[in-house]
Amino acid sequence: MSETIRVPDIGSGEGEVIELFVKVGDRIEADQSILTLESDKASMEIPAPKAGVVKSLKVKMGDKLKEGDELLELEIEGGEEAAAPADEAVEPAGAASGGPADETEASTPAGDENPSASAGEGESQEIKVPDIGSSGKASVIEVSVKPGDTIDAEQALITLESDKASMEIPSPAAGVVESISVKVGDEVGTGDLIL
């Protein structure tokens, strides 16, 4: 079941979107921040009223929003919510060991994620380079995953290096890597396919 999430009562006329914390395909928890609005009086984070998967975003950076405006469409289903606690149980264990990829492959909760993925039809998702902020391209200097790896949301996929900085690109969702479209030495830009 999908539900449209709207701007709650923000107490002032309107606010400008200055930060977006979610993207299409993200699994979000209830009360997780979706975006930051800035009005002439204050800036405020707008939380998600319930858990689910982001189906579509109705806003972008710089949009002016007021109470009742559409923010995003959220897919809410029992299978997705049941999978969320399993993800949370896996992430702290991986973070504590310093090797999330090794930990999740070796631990049993990773096996539990696959049935929940197939219960939600286990759809394939293309992961693309997000807005990397630099005008041109960046070089792939490290690929941290391989086909068949089970990954968590926010786990580093690749490391890019531009003329200004190097940055890790995190996964927007948990799942299993089907194929990788980049290799070390490739030049990629915003919107290019990673895996």
Instruction: Give the model's pLDDT for residue 19.
Output: 93
State the pLDDT at residue 97: 44
pLDDT of residue 56: 94
Q: What sign does the dihedral 14-20-25-28 (CA atoms) show?
A: negative
CA dist 100 and 122 (Å) reads: 22
- Buried (b) or exposed (e) across 162-192, using 16+ Cβ within 10 A? beeeebebebbbbbebeebebeeebebeeeb
Token pair in block for residue 156 = 């580093």
CATH of domain 2-75: 2.40.50.100
Distance from C-alpha of 177 to C-alpha of 26, rounded to nearest angstrom: 16
- Tell me which of 142 and 106 has the higher pLDDT: 142
**CATH for the stretch 79-188:** 2.40.50.100
What order of strands is seen across the sheet that includes strand 166-170? 166-170, 156-161, 138-143, 187-188
Tens digit of each residue's pLDDT (9 = 90 or more) over 15-65? 999 999 999 999 999 899 999 988 887 888 888 989 999 999 999 999 999
State what percent of residues in the chain have pLDDT above 90.
31
Query: According to the 3-state scheme, what is the secondary structure of 136-147?
Result: CCEEEEEECCCC
List, in order, residues 6 or more apart from 170 with CB less than 8 Å away.
153, 154, 155, 156, 157
- Report, as an integer, the average pLDDT of 70-82: 72
Query: What digits encode the pLDDT tens for the residues 82-135?
Result: 444 444 444 444 444 444 444 444 444 444 444 444 444 568 888 888 877 666
For residue 168, what is the enclosing H or E element? strand 166-170
**pTM for this prediction:** 0.40
What are the residue ranges spanned by the domains of the chain?
A: 2-75, 79-188
Q: Which of 2-6, 46-50, 106-110, 151-155 has the lowest mean pLDDT?
A: 106-110
Residue 3 has pLDDT above 70, yes or no: yes
Query: What is the distance between the alpha carbons of residues 59 and 44, in angstroms, rounded to a whole number?
Result: 16
**Residue 165 has what pLDDT?**
79
pLDDT digits (tens, 9 = 90+) for 123-139: 888 888 887 766 678 88
* CATH topology agreement for domains 2-75 and 79-188: yes
Q: How confident is the model at residue 79, as a pLDDT? A: 47
